Amino acid sequence: MTWLTRVRYYVLRSLSTLVEYARLVRLDKPVGIWLLLWPTLWALWIAGRGRPDERVLVVFLAGVVVMRSAGCAINDYADRRIDPKVARTRNRPLAAGRISGTEAIVLYVLLSLIALGLVLQLNGLTQRYSLAGAALALIYPFLKRITSLPQVWLGIAFSWSIPMAFAAQTGAVPRVAWLLFIAGALWTVVYDTVYAMVDRADDLRAGVRSTATLFGEADRVILAILQLFVVAALALVGQNLGFGHWYGAGLLAGSACFLWQQWLIRERIPAECFRAFLASHYFGLYVFAGLALDYLYRHH
């Protein structure tokens, strides 16, 4: 093997490994980033009254990508013996043996250190909230073995950016922030239950617990009730802040998204449930668009 051939081999091997790392943290499947991003932007826009601090905004945008990636790495490590038994996940890099558990942990630690560097750019209150957020994210992947409500924990973890955003932007976490947090947490339970419906048959065989296995035939009704609570909580946020018709239009569009998801999951076909999950982030987008337009036209 000539030196040129050897260099080419190591370059290709390194690139292949980087691709597997990117797949491990789901950079090829950005829907999780959107789902984490929209509630963060809701909070930043409200806390900043339509004009969030640029530095805070950049830190949170980077933090969303980094923390979602870290969460995927630790999640796949926790599920390394479960994922090979589930059709949808058996080809993930760790489940398929293309990378090792040690590599996943090292990547998780590196991403966590990057997140730490980001949060150190913010005030002390935000840093204290971030400690709880890191613990929530670390514990979540292991809960599906001991509770049928891991989606509730995920809702808390995914919505923790809301009080953090208020803390970073204003140095305080008012009541409206917690109302927004409740809306975000319930929304997460909705879309992650839809996600779990995709794997319900495999999960039952593998002994994995979720709200989808817990709800059973009552899943659609319970999801509809939770969707109503999400819209109601966000309507209360709008009422508290004096939002107008733009925000109302965003909520109306989001409600239409919920109805579309209910239609998709009506027969509980896994592929259609997955379509419904992939459409979930549009709800967050519509709410943010209404909110941002309300602030824009309120001052013009």
59 belongs to a structural domain: yes
Count of CB atoms situated within 10 Å of the CB of 75: 24
Cα 10 from chain centroid (whole Å)? 35
pLDDT band, very low/low/confident/very high, at 145 (cuts 50, 70, 90) = confident
Residue 248 structural domain: 17-298
Question: Measuring CA to CA, which residue among 217, 237, 220, 236 is closest to residue 47?
Answer: 237
3 belongs to a structural domain: no
6 belongs to a structural domain: no
Specify the CATH number for the domain of residue 86.
1.10.357.140
pLDDT band, very low/low/confident/very high, at 9 (cuts 50, 70, 90) = low
60 belongs to a structural domain: yes
5 belongs to a structural domain: no
When mean pLDDT is compared across 25-29, 161-165, 183-187, the lowest value belongs to 25-29
Kindly state the percentage of the chain with pLDDT values over 70.
95
pLDDT band, very low/low/confident/very high, at 12 (cuts 50, 70, 90) = low
- The arithmetic mean of pLDDT across residues 264-286, rounded, is 96
The whole-number pLDDT of residue 299 equals 54
List CB contacts of 98: < 8 A, sequence separation 6 or more: 20
Count of CB atoms situated within 10 Å of the CB of 127: 16
Question: Measuring CA to CA, which residue among 218, 199, 237, 242 is closest to residue 85?
Answer: 199
For the stretch 244-249, contacts whose Cβ atoms lie closer than 8 Å and that sit 24 or more positions apart, written own/partner, are 244/294, 244/298, 246/290, 246/291, 246/293, 246/294, 246/297, 247/290, 247/291, 247/293, 247/294, 248/290, 249/290, 249/293
List CB contacts of 232: < 8 A, sequence separation 6 or more: none
147 belongs to a structural domain: yes
**CB-facing half-sphere around the CA of 153: CA atoms within 13 A:** 18
142 belongs to a structural domain: yes
The whole-number pLDDT of residue 185 equals 97
The whole-number pLDDT of residue 4 equals 67
- The arithmetic mean of pLDDT across residues 272-290, rounded, is 97
pLDDT tens for 80-125 read 888 888 878 888 888 888 889 999 999 999 999 999 999 999 999 9
- The arithmetic mean of pLDDT across residues 214-239, rounded, is 96
pLDDT tens for 24-33 read 889 889 999 9
Q: How far is CA 26 from CA 23, 67, 76, 100, in A?
A: 5, 12, 11, 16
12 belongs to a structural domain: no
List CB contacts of 223: < 8 A, sequence separation 6 or more: 190, 193, 194, 215, 262, 265
pLDDT band, very low/low/confident/very high, at 72 (cuts 50, 70, 90) = very high
Helical pair 124-139 and 101-119, crossing angle rounded to 10 deg: 160
Count of CB atoms situated within 10 Å of the CB of 81: 10
Residue with tokens 């036209």: 297
Amino acid at 213: T
Total domains, the chain: 1
- The arithmetic mean of pLDDT across residues 251-271, rounded, is 97
